[in-house]
C-alpha cells in the first residue's frame, strides 16, 4: 500500500512541477510580450499609468511686452473676462445663495450701461430658455476694473470666464507699427501685422509644466516626486518711439483727418543724429484692440509716392556739393525746354522774370532745378548722388513690408522730372534717411525703430540695435550751407514755407505739391487732387528733429489750401516735441514777422490755367477761391502787386461758367471787389456786413448782373464801414 501511495505521490509531484514550469514560462512570455508591445487588451500601459498615477499642471507663460523708449508698455498680455449669465433655477438648488439670475429686468438695467449693450437686447438674452448664456460682444474681453465694477452690483447668476488677451493701452497709437494678434485654434496669441508678426518668434512664450505622482486613490505623493519644466516668457521688445511725441503726432493727425478728410496722411519724426524713429503713424489707422482695419499698409515705409518738390533738396545738395551751385546767379523763370525733348513749367507759367537760383529754391521753381540738373550738374552725376542718398533701395528699417520705390530715368525729360520729384517714386522713410545727411552735417543715418530685444526671465539683452552711418553723400560744409538756404524757404518774402514757421524755433525745410496718378496712369486735376508734403528740420542750425508729413487728396473748402493740414501737423508736433525735449526757444525777428502775418504781394494769375493759378496763389500764402469751371483764369479780385496780409482770400474768375459765392458776412468793400470783377450793378441797404444777397449761392454769375445786398452792423458796432478803393485785375 505504501509503495502504491508513493507511486502516486511521485506522479503528482511530477505533474505539479510540469504545471509550475508551464505557468512560469507562460508568465515570462506574457511579461515579455507586455514589455515589448506595451499594450494589454488594446490599452497602452504607459498611457494608462500616466492617466491613473501621474498628473500634470500647466504653468502659463506670457507673450513678450512691447515697450516705448522710456519703458512704457505699448502692447502687453493681460487677463480679460467674458461675462455670462446663469438662467436655470436648478443652479441654485441646495445652495444658501442664489446662483442664477433672479431679477432679469434689474440685471439688464444695471449691466447695460457698463457693457455698452442696449437694455432691451440684454433683456432678450436673459429671457432665453437656456442654462447659461454669454452677454454678447459687449460682455467679451472686459478688463479687471470692469469686472470689479460689475461684482460690486452683487447680481445673482453673473459669472466670469478668464482668458488671456493682447492689450494695447493707447488704442489708435502707432497701430501699423505695432500690428495686432489673433488667437489660433490652440488658444495661443499669434502676430498678424507689424512687429507683432515680424517678431512673433521672439515675442511668443512657451508654457511650463509641473508633474506629480499620485496613488490609486488619487492622493498626490510627496513633493520629492514632483518634476517641473519652467515656463519661458516671450522676449520683451523696446522701441525707439517716445510715447509723448507719438501722442502729439496721433492727436494732430486725428484732428487734421477729421477736418480735411484726406485719402491718406503719413508722418515720421526722427532723431537725425542717431536714426531713431521717435514717432510714426498714418491715416487711415485702427485700434489694435478692435481690429477695425481699413488700411493694411504701413504707408510711411510701404507706400511709394511721387514726392514732388521735397525731392529738390537732394538735387540742391548734389549741386552744392559738386561746387556748381551759385545762388546769386540769375535764370529766366517760367518755362524751360529740356535738351532732348519736353518742356518744364514753373507753377507760375508767366514766370517771375529773371530771378536768382536762391530765389528759385525759395519759390520752388521747377525751371531752376531743371537748369541745375541739365546745365550744371549733369544727369549721370545727379544719378550717383540720388543713389548715394539711399533712393532706389530699401533702408532696411526693422519693420516688415518696406518698399524700395521705383527709378524712372530713361529719357531726358524723365531724368529732369526725377530731379524735382515727379515720375520716379520714393517712400517717406527713404526721404527721412536722406534728409538726415543734411540735418546731421553730411552723415546719413540708417532709420531704426526697434531699440533692443530683452529676455524677460533673465533681463539679458538678446539683440541690441545701434546707430549706424550708412553714407556721407554730402560734406559737412555743404550740409550747413544748404540748411541756411532751406531756412529762407520759411522766412524769405517769396518762400513757399511760411505756413511752417514756429514761434521760438528756426526751421529749415522744403514744401512739396506733387501730381497724383489715377488708376489709368493719368495725372489727376482739380482742387485738392495732389499730394501735399513738407520735410523740415529744427532748429535749423543744429537739428534735433527731422519731420516728414504728407497728405493725399484732402477735401478743401473754398478758403482752404493744401498745405494747411500738413503745416498744422508739422507745427503742432515739432513745437511740442522740442519743448518736451527742453530745447531752448530763441527770438527770431523773421519768424515772428511771419507768425504775425506779414504783408505779401499779389501775383498776376491772369492767363494761367486753374491748377496753376491755385498752386501759385497757395505758394504765395493766399487762399484762392475759384468761381468758375473754365480752363483759364480771366480775372482776379485783387490786382497784382497789391500788398495784402498773408492768408487773404482771392477770388478767381474763369472763361467758363462762374458761380455766385456766399457773401454773407462780407464787408461792403469785399462785395465791391466782386462787383468790379464781374461789372455787377450793386444796390445796398444798411451798413456793416452782408446779411442777405439777391443772387443765391451757386447760381450762375454773369457780367453786368444786378446784385442787391442788405448789411447790418454787428452788436456793439457804432462806426459805419468806410468804402475803400477797389483794385481788380481783369
Q: What is the pLDDT of residues 94-125, one digit of tens each?
A: 888 889 999 999 999 999 999 999 999 999 99
pLDDT at 719: 37
* Interval 148-195: pLDDT, tens: 999 999 999 999 988 888 999 999 999 999 999 988 877 788 999 999
pLDDT at 721: 37
* Interval 315-370: pLDDT, tens: 999 999 999 999 999 999 999 999 999 999 998 888 888 999 999 999 999 999 99
Whether 433 contacts 470, CB under 8 Å: yes
- Residue 224 pLDDT more than 60? no
* Interval 419-441: pLDDT, tens: 999 999 999 999 999 999 999 99
Question: DSSP labels for 511-567?
Answer: EEEEE-B-TTS-B--STT-EEEEEEEEESSSS-SEEEEEEEES----TT--THHHHH
- Residue 580 pLDDT more than 60? yes
Phi-psi region of 194 (alpha: psi -120 to 50; beta: other; left: phi over 0): left
**How long is the chain?**
730
* Interval 688-699: pLDDT, tens: 788 899 999 889
pLDDT at 386: 97
Burial class (CB in 10 A: 0-12, 13-18, 19+), 405: buried
> In the structure grid, which three cell numbers stand for residue 283, read together?
491715416
- The CATH number of the structural domain formed by 62-204 is 3.30.70.2110
Task: Tell me the mean pLDDT in the region 661-683.
Answer: 86
Task: Tell me the mean pLDDT in the region 533-554.
Answer: 96
pLDDT at 693: 92
Active site residues: 309
pLDDT band for position 725 (50/70/90)?
very low
pLDDT at 115: 92
CATH superfamily, with its number, for domain 243-595: DD-peptidase/beta-lactamase superfamily (3.40.710.10)
> In the structure grid, which three cell numbers stand for residue 114, read together?
457698463
Whether 530 contacts 516, CB under 8 Å: yes
CA nearest neighbour of 169 among 288, 79, 296? 288
pLDDT band for position 30 (50/70/90)?
low
> In the structure grid, which three cell numbers stand for residue 355, read together?
530771378
Compute the distance between CA of residue 486 and CA of residue 626 in angstroms, rounded to an integer.
31
Compute the distance between CA of residue 475 and CA of residue 440 in angstroms, rounded to an integer.
10
**What one-character DSSP code corresponds to residue 372?**
I
Task: Tell me the mean pLDDT in the region 652-669.
Answer: 86
> Cα 468 from chain centroid?
25
**What one-character DSSP code corresponds to residue 666?**
-
Fold of 599-712: Trypsin Inhibitor V; Chain A (3.30.10)
Kindly report the pTM of this predicted structure: 0.77
What end-to-end distance do the CA atoms of the chain give, in Å?
156
For the chain, the structural domain boundaries read 2-58, 62-204, 243-595, 599-712
- Residue 41 pLDDT more than 80? no
Are both 62-204 and 599-712 of the same fold? no
pLDDT at 148: 92
pLDDT band for position 507 (50/70/90)?
very high
> How much of the chain exceeds pLDDT 90, in percent?
55
pLDDT band for position 58 (50/70/90)?
confident
pLDDT band for position 720 (50/70/90)?
very low
Query: What does pLDDT average to over the chain?
Result: 87
Which of 592 and 147 is assigned the larger pLDDT?
147
Rg value, the chain, Cα: 38
Which of 483 and 215 is assigned the larger pLDDT?
483
pLDDT band for position 480 (50/70/90)?
very high
Amino acid at each position: 500500500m505504501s509503495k502504491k501511495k508513493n507511486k502516486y505521490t511521485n506522479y503528482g509531484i511530477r505533474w505539479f512541477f510540469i504545471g509550475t514550469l508551464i505557468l512560469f514560462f507562460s508568465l515570462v512570455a506574457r511579461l515579455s510580450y507586455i514589455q515589448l508591445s506595451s499594450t494589454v487588451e488594446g490599452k497602452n500601459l504607459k498611457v494608462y499609468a500616466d492617466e491613473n498615477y501621474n498628473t500634470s499642471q500647466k504653468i502659463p507663460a506670457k507673450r513678450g511686452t512691447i515697450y516705448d523708449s522710456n519703458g512704457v508698455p505699448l502692447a502687453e498680455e493681460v487677463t480679460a473676462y467674458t461675462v455670462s449669465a446663469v438662467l436655470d433655477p436648478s443652479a441654485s438648488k441646495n445652495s444658501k445663495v442664489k446662483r442664477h439670475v433672479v431679477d432679469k429686468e434689474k440685471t439688464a438695467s444695471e449691466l447695460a450701461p457698463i457693457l455698452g449693450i442696449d437694455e432691451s437686447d440684454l433683456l432678450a438674452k436673459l429671457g432665453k430658455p437656456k442654462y447659461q448664456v454669454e452677454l454678447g460682444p459687449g460682455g467679451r474681453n472686459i478688463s479687471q476694473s470692469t469686472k470689479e465694477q460689475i461684482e460690486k452690483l452683487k447680481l445673482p447668476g453673473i459669472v466670469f470666464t478668464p482668458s488671456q488677451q493682447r492689450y494695447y493701452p493707447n488704442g489708435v497709437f502707432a497701430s501699423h507699427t505695432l500690428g495686432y494678434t489673433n488667437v489660433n485654434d490652440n488658444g495661443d496669441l499669434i502676430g498678424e501685422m507689424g512687429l507683432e508678426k515680424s517678431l512673433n518668434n521672439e515675442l511668443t512664450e512657451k508654457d511650463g509644466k509641473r508633474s506629480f505622482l499620485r496613488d490609486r486613490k488619487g492622493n498626490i505623493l510627496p513633493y520629492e516626486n514632483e518634476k517641473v519644466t519652467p515656463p519661458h516668457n516671450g522676449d520683451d521688445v523696446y522701441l525707439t518711439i517716445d510715447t509723448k511725441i507719438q501722442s502729439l503726432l496721433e492727436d494732430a493727425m486725428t484732428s487734421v483727418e477729421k477736418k480735411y478728410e484726406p485719402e491718406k496722411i503719413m508722418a515720421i519724426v526722427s532723431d537725425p543724429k542717431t536714426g531713431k524713429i521717435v514717432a510714426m503713424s498714418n491715416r487711415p489707422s485702427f485700434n489694435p484692440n478692435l481690429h477695425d482695419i481699413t488700411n493694411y499698409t504701413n504707408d510711411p515705409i510701404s507706400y511709394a509716392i511721387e514726392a514732388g518738390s521735397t525731392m529738390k533738396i537732394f538735387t540742391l545738395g548734389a549741386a552744392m556739393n559738386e561746387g556748381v551751385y551759385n545762388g546769386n546767379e540769375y535764370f529766366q523763370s517760367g518755362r524751360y525746354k529740356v535738351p532732348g525733348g519736353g518742356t518744364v513749367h514753373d507753377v507760375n507759367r508767366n514766370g517771375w522774370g529773371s530771378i536768382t537760383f536762391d530765389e528759385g529754391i525759395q519759390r520752388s521753381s521747377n525751371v531752376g532745378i531743371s537748369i541745375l540738373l541739365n546745365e550744371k550738374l549733369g544727369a549721370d552725376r545727379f544719378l550717383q548722388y540720388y543713389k548715394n542718398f539711399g533712393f532706389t533701395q530699401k533702408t532696411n528699417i526693422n519693420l516688415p513690408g518696406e518698399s524700395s520705390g521705383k527709378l524712372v530715368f530713361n529719357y531726358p525729360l524723365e531724368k529732369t522730372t526725377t530731379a524735382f520729384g515727379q515720375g520716379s517714386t520714393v517712400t517717406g522713410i527713404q526721404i527721412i534717411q536722406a534728409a538726415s545727411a543734411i540735418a546731421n552735417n553730411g552723415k546719413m543715418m540708417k532709420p531704426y525703430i526697434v531699440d533692443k530685444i530683452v529676455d524677460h526671465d533673465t533681463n539679458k539683452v538678446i539683440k541690441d540695435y545701434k546707430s549706424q552711418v550708412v553714407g556721407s553723400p554730402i560734406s559737412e560744409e555743404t550740409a550747413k550751407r544748404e540748411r541756411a538756404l532751406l531756412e529762407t524757404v520759411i522766412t524769405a518774402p517769396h518762400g513757399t514755407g511760411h505756413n511752417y514757421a514756429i514761434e521760438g524755433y528756426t526751421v529749415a525745410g522744403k514744401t512739396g505739391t506733387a501730381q497724383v496718378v489715377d488708376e489709368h496712369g493719368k495725372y489727376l486735376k482739380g482742387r485738392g487732387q495732389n499730394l501735399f508734403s513738407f520735410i523740415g528740420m529744427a532748429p535749423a542750425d543744429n537739428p534735433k528733429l527731422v519731420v516728414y508729413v504728407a497728405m493725399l487728396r484732402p477735401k478743401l473748402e473754398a478758403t482752404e489750401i493744401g498745405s494747411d493740414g500738413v503745416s498744422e501737423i508739422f507745427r503742432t508736433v515739432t513745437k511740442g516735441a522740442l519743448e518736451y525735449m527742453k530745447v531752448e526757444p530763441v527770438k527770431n525777428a523773421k519768424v515772428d514777422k511771419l507768425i504775425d502775418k506779414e504783408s505779401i504781394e499779389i501775383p498776376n494769375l491772369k492767363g494761367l490755367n486753374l491748377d496753376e493759378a491755385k498752386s501759385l496763389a497757395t505758394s504765395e500764402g493766399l487762399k484762392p477761391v475759384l468761381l468758375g469751371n473754365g480752363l483759364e483764369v480771366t480775372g482776379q479780385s485783387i490786382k497784382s502787386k497789391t500788398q495784402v496780409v498773408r492768408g487773404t482770400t482771392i477770388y478767381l474768375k474763369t472763361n467758363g461758367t462762374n458761380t455766385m459765392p456766399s457773401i454773407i458776412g462780407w464787408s461792403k468793400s469785399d462785395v465791391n471787389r466782386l462787383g468790379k470783377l464781374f461789372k455787377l450793378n450793386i444796390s445796398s441797404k444798411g451798413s456793416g456786413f452782408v446779411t442777405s444777397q439777391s443772387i443765391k449761392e451757386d447760381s450762375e454769375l454773369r457780367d453786368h448782373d444786378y446784385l442787391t445786398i442788405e448789411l447790418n452792423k454787428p452788436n456793439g458796432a457804432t462806426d459805419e464801414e468806410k468804402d475803400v478803393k477797389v483794385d481788380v485785375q481783369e
